[in-house]
Amino acid sequence: MYTDVFLWYTSLYTKGVYHMTDGADLHPSSLNELKPIVQEFVTRLANIEHEIETLNNDKKELFEEFSQKVDVRELKSALRVHKIQQKVNHRHAFESILECLETE
């Protein structure tokens, strides 16, 4: 996949389709200068995506481990509510609205 992105990008560059109108001095002047930059970016991106995949697997295993101790579905719902409550600026107003919704 990353090779495809690199090939696509370099084909645009060599065809003259890609050009920067602002900050052109930041862009390498030749394909030989551009290639290692793009390759470094692609490599680092692949590493980050691998780390994300590993963390997602760890998260899944954690929920599986605790599924014997607590209702994981309820736990996930409570975590979502907790995150939302942390973002609310006017907690009293938020809780009042929630109370109104619960009485329906």
Tokens of 9: 């990008």
Q: In this predicted structure, which of 1-5, 25-29, 47-51, 52-56 has the lowest mean pLDDT?
A: 1-5
**pLDDT tens column, 13-23:** 666 555 555 55
Q: Is the pLDDT of residue 37 over 90?
A: yes
Residue 26 has pLDDT above 80, yes or no: no
Task: Specify the 3-state DSSP secondary structure of 103.
Answer: coil
Interhelix angle for 2-15 vs 31-66, to 10°?
Answer: 150
In angstroms, rounded to a whole number, what is the distance separating the alpha carbons of residues 86 and 84? 5
Task: Give the separation between CA 75 and CA 66, rounded to whole angstroms.
Answer: 10
